[in-house]
Structures are given as structure tokens and as C-alpha cells.
Chain A
Amino acid sequence: MSSEFNTKIVISPSPHFRTDLNPNKIMRRVIIGLIPVMIAAVYFFGIVNFLRVVGLSTVSAIVFEFLILRVFKRKIIPGTYSSGVVTGILLGLTLPPSVPWWIPVVGSGIAIIVAKEFFGGLGQNPFNPALIGRAVLSVSWPVHITTFITPFESLTTATPLALLKDGVDKLPSYWDLFYGNVSGSIGETSALLILIGGIYLLMTRTIEWYIPVSYLGSMAILSLLLGRDPVIEILAGGVMLGAFFMATDYVTSPVTSKGRLIFGLGCGILTLIIRAFGGYPEGVTYAILIMNAFSPIIERVTLPRKFGEVKK
């Protein structure tokens, strides 16, 4: 009868509304959240170091993503490139400002090709790609990855955590640690600006509070128990960047709220154990990677009670 209409009527499953959020928008928010951190990197270590480290890691992440998608003949899904950009920036921010140019390039290659696309691409990787990149770099070229410079003057020096490990008591002031006027990885020194970016992510509901709060909270409590200074433990090194930008990675952390709390707790405990008893002065990278491995099992044991389900 009215069959002339039928070609125009669209059939689709409900609901017929949806959020205007999409993976690219989420990644864009993460990048916006990282802008203060990048400003700190430029301010303390100069634009040349920033471009060589973070600029190169980001550009090479995009290039590797482009190449590997062609080699694997893989379909581009929403968020592929934008998440690659986030991985590139994050990897760069965890590297010392003085590394040679090829270090960020190799790191991005490992992050994108091995840690992300070998496992099936966006959403499939069990481990945080940026941290895998950093971990491989730090075991392959330990000298490059542990040579740090001071802000502004670029003199070779030890990081606050290395000083702490060696039992030196000439540690920087709390204010310098908070503000970022210390040596360290290019994007990890300023707790203040990382916090601003993190608060932006919390306010836009891009991330939830569970992981950062349980990560930083467990760090604080455990360091007190071990007789260490909780302020230094949290402000020095990669904890702030890790807690807000790395451990909160959707793909590699649990989806349940309780699971996220436990995940952050585990990250905090492991970071401190590595710092206090391990061979390295810093433990964030390995702590988060180890917790990534635990993520599926944490999720399994924290499945919420279904509505109307009676516990036997």
C-alpha cells in the first residue's frame, strides 16, 4: 500500500537516542588534561627538550599507528589515532629531558606496535602501551633513562628519589617538589600542574576518583607505616602522573568501582614496595604494569551484586 515509503523508513534497534560522547572526544579531553603538564615540561626543561622528547614520541606514535594499520590491513575504529596520540604524549612525558632523539622514537614504536596493535589494537591491549614502551627502554638503555638534568640550567644531577634511595639528606623542599622545580622525567616533576589536569579529567567525568584517590591514599598510609615521608613519596617521581593519567587508563584497569579502588590500592602498595625494598629508586611503571596483569581477576572478584540477587 504505502510501499513507496518503505525505502525511506529506517529500522534500528533501541534506544533511538545516545550520548554525544565518543572515543575521540574522550581522548581529546585526556590531551586537554595533559596540556598543563606539557606547559610545565616546556617551562622547566625548555622547548627544545620538549620537542625532542614529547614532540618526537607523539609524532612517531602517529606514524607507527598509520604504518601498522596498513601492514595489518586493520580497520580504523573511532579513537585509534587519538588514543595513539595520548600514548605518544604520555610516553614522552615519562622520559628524562636529556634523552637522545631516537629513544622516544623507539619507545613509541614498542608502545604502539608491540604493546597496542600486536594485541589487537584499541581496547584489546592488556598492558598500558606507554608504560610498556618506557619499561622496555629502561631495561634496554638504562643509562639514558636514568640520566637526569636540573630544570632551567640543564646540569646533570640525580632525582630526588635517587637521592632518597642513596640516603642523601639534601632533599629539595616540599614547595619545589610540588611546583616542579626539581630534576626528573620531563612531565613528572610538577605535581601542581598534573593535579590541575587531573582535576579537569575528574570534573569532566572522563575519569573517576577511585583510582587516583586509592593510589595516592595507599601511598600516604603505607609510607607512614614504613616510616617514610608521605609528602615526598607522592610528590617526587611519577606517582602523580601515574595516578591520574596512567593507572586510570580504561582499557587496562577494572571497570567496576570496587575493582578500581583495589587496583589503585595495589598500585600504591607496589610502588612503595619497589621504592623501599627494590633495586630501583622509582617503582610507578612496574607497579602499574603488574596491576594491569591483575586487572581481569580483580574485576572478576568485584562483580557487583545483581539487582534482586540474594547472596547464598
Chain B
Amino acid sequence: MSYHELRPPELKITCQKPISQLPVPKLVVLPLQQHTGALAQPIVKVGDMVTKGQVIGDSTQYVFAPIHASISGKIKAISPWMHPTLGREIESVIIEGEGDFEELKLKPLGMNISPQEISSRSREAGLVGLGGAAFPTAVKLNPNKPVEVVIINGAECEPYLTVDHRQMLEKSNKIILGLKLMMKAVGARNGIIAIEDNKKDAITIMNESVKAEEAIKVSILPSKYPQGAEKVLIKTLLKREVPRGGLPMDVGVVVSNVSTAICLTEAILEGKVLTERVITISGDLIKEPANAMVTLGTLIKDVSDNYIKLPEEPYKVVTGGPMTGITQSSLDVPIIKGTSGVLFLRKKDEFMQGECIRCGRCVKVCPLRLMPLYIALNTKIEDYSKAEYFGALDCFECGSCTYACPASIPLVHYVKVAKSEIFKRRKVSTKA
């Protein structure tokens, strides 16, 4: 590789823990924005009774996935609620569990369905990429460019997280079926299941499962960060570089998360809609870390009540992994479609932020060969066009530079500031 290897501690302490079922909560909060794309419009009213699996938020927009009730009960309120990734309050549907209704399911389909049906069923079932970015699956499975390869991303390079790892061990057949459905949907001839070499058991099981499949192979990736980032993954596997500002399909590739493939299989063969997902509950504060199936909309405090006695001293609650995850300001934030984990971390004594000594480590570890130090420097002095020149808009915020910085400069934070300022300015200039 052309950049230094970054190997943060793996801390995959839950990789031997089978997926358990978290109790269904009494109350769920379902934000009407859970994916990249359009905001859902509520199609229920306060006081309505809903059944698990029923659509509660919909839209006619193309880049969209509907939102379903994740428990049966009564709509208690439709009001703004703190969102786990957007950092502000978003209109959300709050359901209070009532009765013991059956789950609403779609009509099960067979494997012999058309590409269009696969894509439209993905939408009906509310599927989005479950790796974190939450891009609507139906849109991804309807590419406007020829696709040769579908890659199932089992890299899972973020420390702590073991969601994909466990699912590869426990649901390998559903992953293969999901991959085949995706290949059919996009017209790809080849499928790759890509796994980092630190997950030997998953490699063995997946290899076993693809034995009968001619078009599918398992590829082993070196375990290093950020191997699971789409662009890095494609580069490692196929030596192709997704063009700046482009999508994987520009190089004939579609990449999907492991969990998404499983949900697609279940949506088509069982008619299941997306109302729950697997998350890793971990961190250095947790005594009994776990992988658990949770109902979407479950508040973090309902998760923590089951797993942890929160400490007296300050701590961090992070959704996602420790490299890219977001700290939450309260425990009343819901688990949404894109939430891959909840981490409870001790607050470490942070090093004092220093001045850049130009050691170049951020440059060496950047997978996109950007200049993080100059993005930060120019953002500090508010020269955003320079920040853009050094790659602010290219950055996918993997956190490698900040991890490597000996002076403890929050480089990714500066990148985020630069991005929002650049977009703000663009908006103003197009208006004028």
C-alpha cells in the first residue's frame, strides 16, 4: 500500500458472543429521517393504533426508504426528538407499546424474481445500508451504470464492533442469498465477500458456504484501518479508484454491508420489513459486552439499563465505532437503522492539544492521500478555498489522521467545519 498502516487496538471483545435478543421496549422513538435522502412524512396521527411492520412514514421521493412501526401500540406523539447522528432534533414518531399484535409482513417471494422486484421490495421493506451511512438499498440496487461486481463488506475495521463478524458466523446462508439477489438486481456477474484476516472463523465459514457458488468468492483483506471504507475496500480488492465525488458504480462496483444482505434475504423470502437490527454493545465501561438484536427506536437508556450500571465519573456514550462514531449528549437518543453499535467509554485523560509540528503522520496515514494538516490550518484561519484545495471535501472522516496526530489536533473536526462552511458559501453564492 502507498500509505502507512494504521492499526488501532482491535478490542473485539464481543466476537465470541452469540447474538442475543434485547427485550422489546415499552416505548420507541422513530425519527422520520433515518437515511441519506428525503425526510419521511408521517402517515399516522397521534392516538392511532399501529401494528409492528406497518408503514408510518412515507414519501414519493426517489432516494428514500419508508419507516415502519417497530412495535405494535399507540402513537403517543409526533414531535421533535434528539437525533443520534444529525446532532439536532428531528420530527419523530413516538409509539407506546400496547397489546400483543402480530407482526405485519409482506408477501414472501421466491428467488426467481425480476431485478425490478428486488429493488422495489427493498424499498417497501425500508432497507438502507446498515453499515452506518444508511443509503437506501433500493436506489443502490437500481444503478444507472453497468455493474460487474457486488462486494459484501465484511471488513468491519472499526474497533469494538462485531456485528458483521457475528452475522457471518451465524447467518452465512442468508448473506450468500442476499448477495445473489443483489447480483441479480444490478446484473453483476461476480460477487465477493471481503473479510479482514483477523476474523479467521468467519473466513472459514464463509468459504464453506460459497463452495457451491461459482460466481462468488471470499477475499481476505489485511486487517488495518480503514479497510472497510468503501473506496479503500474497492482499491484493495480490485485496484480500482472510485473517482473523486463519484460512486462505486462508476468503477462497476456495488458494495453492501453484511447486515443489509441478510435483511434483503429476509425481506424477499420471508417478507420481513426493517424493524430491528443487530448492534454491538461494548466499551471499556461495560462488564458484559454483547451483540444484540434490538428493536429500532429503542432508547439508549433502555439498552444501558440491560447491560451497564453507569459510573459516577464522566463518560462517553458513542453510537457507531470509536473511530467514526458520534458522542451522544443524552441517553434518550434512539437506535436507528444506521446504528451499528453503542459504546460506553471511560473518559480518558486527554492530551493537551498542541501546535502542529509538521511531522507528516497525518499525511502518511490518510487513505485518500489528502493533506489533513493544511486542511486544519486553513480552516483555523478561515481560508476555506485552501482547505478545499487540500482535500476537505474529499475526506470521508475515517479519523486516521486524528488518531495518528501526536499533537492531539482534532483534524477531522476541522474537516467537518470546513465542509459545512464550504457548503454554506456555495448555497449563498447560488442564491445570489
Contacts and interface: CB of A to CB of B under 8 A. Distances in A.
Contact of A256 (B241, B322, B331, B363): B363
B331 A79 contact: no
Given A2-B301, A5-B330, A16 B357 contact: no
B322 A124 contact: no
Interface in A227-272: 250-251, 253, 255-257
Nearest to B8: A17
Interface stretch (A20-28, A35-43, A171-179): A20-28
Q: Which 7 A-B pairs have the closest CB atoms?
A: A15-B399, A255-B360, A307-B368, A13-B413, A78-B354, A304-B369, A21-B406
A3 to B, nearest CB: 8
B310 interface: yes
Contacts of B313: 8
B173 to A, nearest CB: 35
Given A1-B332, A22-B351, A308-B246, 15 more contacts: A3-B330, A6-B330, A8-B310, A8-B314, A9-B314, A9-B329, A14-B318, A14-B397, A15-B402, A17-B9, A18-B405, A22-B408, A253-B358, A307-B367, A309-B243
B403 A307 contact: no
A306 B370 contact: yes
A123 B310 CA distance: 41
Contacts of A16: 316, 318, 322-323, 325, 327, 343, 345
B106 interface: no
Nearest to B241: A308
Contacts of B246: 308
Contacts of A198: none
A155 to B, nearest CB: 42
A306 B394 contact: yes
A23 B354 contact: yes
Contacts of B317: 9
Interface in A75-94: 77-79, 83
A307 B236 CA distance: 13
B225 to A, nearest CB: 10
Given A19-B405, A79-B357, A251-B357, A14 B326 contact: yes
Interface residues of A, number: 44
Interface in A297-312: 303-310
B328 A308 contact: no
Contacts of B159: 17
Contact of B358 (A2, A21, A255): A255
B316 A12 contact: yes
A13 B416 contact: yes
Contacts of A13: 402, 410, 412-413, 416
A43 B364 CA distance: 39
B43 interface: no
Contacts of A8: 310-315
Interface string B398-421: 010011111110101100100000
B214 interface: no
B269 interface: no
Contacts of B8: 17
B301 A123 contact: no
A123 B402 contact: no
Contacts of A306: 244, 368-370, 391, 394
B426 to A, nearest CB: 20
B45 interface: no
A10 B368 CA distance: 30
B330 A18 contact: no
Contact of B347 (A2, A3, A10): A10
A281 B350 CA distance: 50
B255 to A, nearest CB: 15
B68 interface: no
Contacts, number: 169
A11 interface: yes
B197 to A, nearest CB: 21
B205 interface: no
Contact of B369 (A11, A22, A26, A305): A305
Contacts of B358: 123, 250-251, 253, 255
B331 A5 contact: yes
Interface in B156-179: 159
Contact of B329 (A11, A17, A310): A11
B356 interface: yes
Which of B318, B351, B368, B413 gathers the greatest number of chain A CB atoms within 10 Å? B351
A5 B330 CA distance: 7
Interface string A119-150: 00111100000000000000000000000000
B332 A2 contact: yes
B425 to A, nearest CB: 21
A256 B345 contact: no
B373 interface: yes
Contact of A17 (B244, B314, B364, B403): B403
Nearest to A252: B358
B313 to A, nearest CB: 7
Contacts of A310: 243-244
Interface in B199-252: 231, 235, 241-246
B314 A121 contact: no
A8 to B, nearest CB: 5
Contacts of A251: 357-358
Contacts of B350: 12
Given A250-B360, A255-B360, A18 B355 contact: no
Given A78-B407, A306-B370, A307-B394, A22 B330 contact: no
B331 A2 contact: yes
Given A250-B360, A308-B243, A23 B407 contact: yes
A18 B316 contact: no
B397 A25 contact: no
A16 B322 CA distance: 5
Contacts of B351: 18, 22, 78
Contact of B325 (A6, A14, A255): A14
Contacts of B397: 14
A18 B408 CA distance: 8
Contacts of A250: 357-360
Nearest to A254: B360
A220 B242 CA distance: 42
B352 interface: yes
Which of B9, B322, B350, B358 gathers the greatest number of chain A CB atoms within 10 Å? B358
A255 B412 contact: no
B324 interface: yes
